[in-house]
Structures are given as structure tokens and as C-alpha cells.
């Protein structure tokens, strides 16, 4: 089972050449085991609202379309995940990434991300 970092989700939508060959192959060959955190929908919406990202439709419709188009499964942010994100070592300051890290740890997912800072966390399997 694999969890996509928000940047990987965005690259699936706009620029698949930014995705590593290894991860692109995993996405193609393992569609039933690909997950996206609900926090990624929030992060994408925040980027769009701040003018850092342009979407072709409102974020809720965009997120739903992306999930359906790529056969992704959504993972909710539970209270346990939110609490565990606050307990992580202060390696990474991005609150969205900390929630993704806690989600991957909680569900024992491999995290598909190019973020080298995320890779410094213990008990986390990163693929890029």
C-alpha cells in the first residue's frame, strides 16, 4: 500500500514527467494500492486560494475527479493521525507533510515523495 505526497498528486494532474520512473511504474502497476490523504485536498485548496496553483475547476470537484481518474483511494485524517503528527520529531516544519508522515506511519504505507527531509523520519518507508 502506498500513500502519495501532495506534490505527486499534483504532478499526476499536470506534469507526469516530474514523477520518477520508479514511482510512475509503481503507480501504473499498483492502482488498487494507491492512497491519498484527505489532507492533500486541503493542501491543494490552500495553494489554489493563495494563487500558487491554478485548477481547472473548484478544488472539491478537482479532487474528486483526480481520485476517480487515477483510481485512488482516500484516507481520512483521524484524531490519532492528527495527534501523532504533533508528536513527530521537529525534523520537518510543514504541517501538511507531518500529517502525511503520521498517516503513512499509522497505516504502514510506503510514502511516494521526493522530499529528502521527510526521508529523515524513522519508521517510514519512502519510495522515489
How many domains, in total, are found in the chain?
A: 1
Phi, psi dihedrals of residue 48, rounded to the nearest 5°: -65, -45
| pLDDT tens track, the chain, 128 positions | 999 999 999 999 998 999 999 999 999 898 789 999 999 999 999 999 999 999 999 999 999 999 999 999 999 999 999 999 999 999 999 999 999 999 999 999 999 999 999 999 999 999 99
Sheet of strand 34-37: strand arrangement: 73-75, 34-37, 2-4, 110-112, 125-127
β-pairing, 2-4 vs 34-37, is: parallel
- Show the domain range for 58: 2-127
Distance CA 83, CA 50 (A): 27
The CATH number assigned to the domain holding 91 equals 3.40.50.1010
Amino acid at each position: 500500500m502506498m500513500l502519495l505526497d501532495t506534490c505527486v498528486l499534483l504532478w499526476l494532474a499536470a506534469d507526469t514527467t516530474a514523477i520518477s520512473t520508479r514511482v510512475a511504474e509503481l503507480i501504473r502497476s499498483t492502482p488498487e494500492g494507491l492512497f491519498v490523504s484527505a489532507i492533500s485536498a486541503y493542501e491543494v485548496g490552500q495553494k489554489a486560494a493563495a494563487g500558487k496553483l491554478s485548477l481547472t475547476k473548484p478544488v472539491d470537484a478537482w479532487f474528486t475527479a483526480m481520485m476517480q481518474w487515477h483510481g485512488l483511494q482516500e484516507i481520512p485524517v483521524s484524531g490519532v493521525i492528527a495527534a501523532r503528527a504533533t508528536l513527530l520529531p521537529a525534523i520537518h516544519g510543514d504541517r501538511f507533510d507531518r500529517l502525511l508522515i503520521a498517516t503513512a506511519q499509522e497505516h504502514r504505507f510506503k510514502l511516494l515523495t521526493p522530499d529528502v527531509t521527510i526521508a529523515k523520519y524513522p519508521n517510514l518507508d519512502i519510495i522515489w
